[in-house]
Amino acid sequence: MGNKTKTSKDLRPIEAHTKLMKRYKKGIRLSKVPGIKYFFKRIFGPETSTGSPIPINVSLGTYENQVLPLAVTEHFIKKASYIVLMDCPCRTHSKCENHDISLGCTWLGKDAARIDLEKHPSARQGTVEEALERERLAYENGLVPHLGRLKADSWRYDVLPDTGHFMSLCHCCPCCCILFTMKYSTSVIKKILKRMEGVTVEVNRDLCEGCGECFKVCIYDSMKMVDGKAMIDLETCLGCGRCERKCPNHAITITIDDYSHIDELFARIESYVDVT
């Protein structure tokens, strides 16, 4: 009888490999190089940038009579003095077939008016009503909102000097999002994105069958396989909740211990960026 070979599961997350994404990946890896590392920290580090993914899971319940992501994003959209809507550049470049390309970036604050719309054909000024409708559609499409002040976006869209009035609100899929490159960066840059306080993601090892489906959608490289069962590295997990939605065995749960943490999130973001 021939020897049987044991095939190992492919536990690599979905990851865009277009020329653009390879370039971004190469660029973010430079943040670990001495000298260049200092530049990244000074220009794009946590002293000037912050952001958080907002969990899209129905199991978290509601906050002020709305599902969590809609309540959080509405808070900032209704305050914004100026709004720009844009197709998702990541999904556009990757020719994404899994999620709606038009449900892309929303830029908030008076400095959003400085985006050169001629350089970005899909970008246009939007209304509060249009921005809120986009949030509803993005939620239904399974996209995770990431919001905050990211100075790298100010550079990318030539909104300089960055005066603290330019908020990024992106709607990210697990297959094309540029934020997957963050796991290749220095630890300082990784600190820009923070899990919302009070959010916990856990795996029930009795229910987990080790299928690896959750690994596919974890862009932060936070899933580990231990003794054939999935485990979550809470040091790197940002609580986006994609793994819970993907798990076919309902072995993953995401909870928030106190909704007062939402007010803490508002305060942290608003200490970095003013959209009024």
Sole residue written with tokens 């220009």 = 43
Question: What average pLDDT does the segment 205-225 reach?
Answer: 94
Rounded CA-CA distance 123/117 in Å is: 6
Closest CA to 203 of 257, 151, 145, 249: 249
**Ramachandran region, residue 194 (left: φ > 0; alpha: ψ -120 to 50; beta: rest):** beta
pLDDT of residue 215: 95
Is the confidence at residue 208, as pLDDT, over 80? yes
User: How crowded is residue 67: how many other Cβ atoms within 10 Å of its Cβ?
Assistant: 18
Tokens of 193: 């994105």
User: Is pLDDT of 2 > 80?
Assistant: no
Residues with Cβ within 8 Å of 65's Cβ and at least 6 positions away in sequence, in order, are none
pLDDT of residue 35: 85
Neighbours of 31 (CB within 10 A): 22
CA–CA dist 275, 112 (Å, integer): 9
**pLDDT at site 3:** 45
Interhelix angle 68-79/260-272, rounded to 10 degrees, is: 40
pLDDT band, very low/low/confident/very high, at 6 (cuts 50, 70, 90): very low
Q: Which of 3-17, 113-127, 140-154 has the lowest mean pLDDT?
A: 3-17
pLDDT digits (tens, 9 = 90+) for 22-35: 999 999 999 999 88
Give the contacts of 129 (CB within 8 A, at least 6 positions apart): none
Residues of each domain in the chain carrying CATH 3.30.70.20: 199-256
Q: Is the pLDDT of residue 110 over 50?
A: yes
Are the C-beta atoms of residues 21 and 94 closer than 8 Å to each other? yes
The string of pLDDT tens digits covering residues 71-109 is 999 999 999 999 999 999 999 999 999 999 999 999 999
CA separation (Å) from 12 to 80, 174, 216, 225, 232? 39, 12, 6, 12, 15
| Residue 53 bridge partners (DSSP) | 146
* Cβ-based neighbour number of residue 168 at 10 Å: 24
> Is 3.30.70.20 the CATH classification of the domain at 199-256?
yes
pLDDT for 151-195, tens place per residue? 999 999 999 999 999 999 999 999 999 999 999 999 889 999 999
The rounded Cα 26 to chain-centroid distance in angstroms is: 19
The pLDDT tens digits of the residues spanning 45-80 come to 899 999 999 999 988 888 888 899 999 999 999 999
CA distance 214 to 218: 7
- For residues 110 and 165, the answer to whether their CB atoms sit within 8 Å is yes
C-alpha Rg value of the chain to the nearest Å: 19
Phi, psi of 231 (to 5 degrees): -135, 155
The arithmetic mean of pLDDT across residues 136-146, rounded, is: 96
Tokens of 201: 């993601």
Give 5's pLDDT tier (boundaries 50, 70, 90): very low
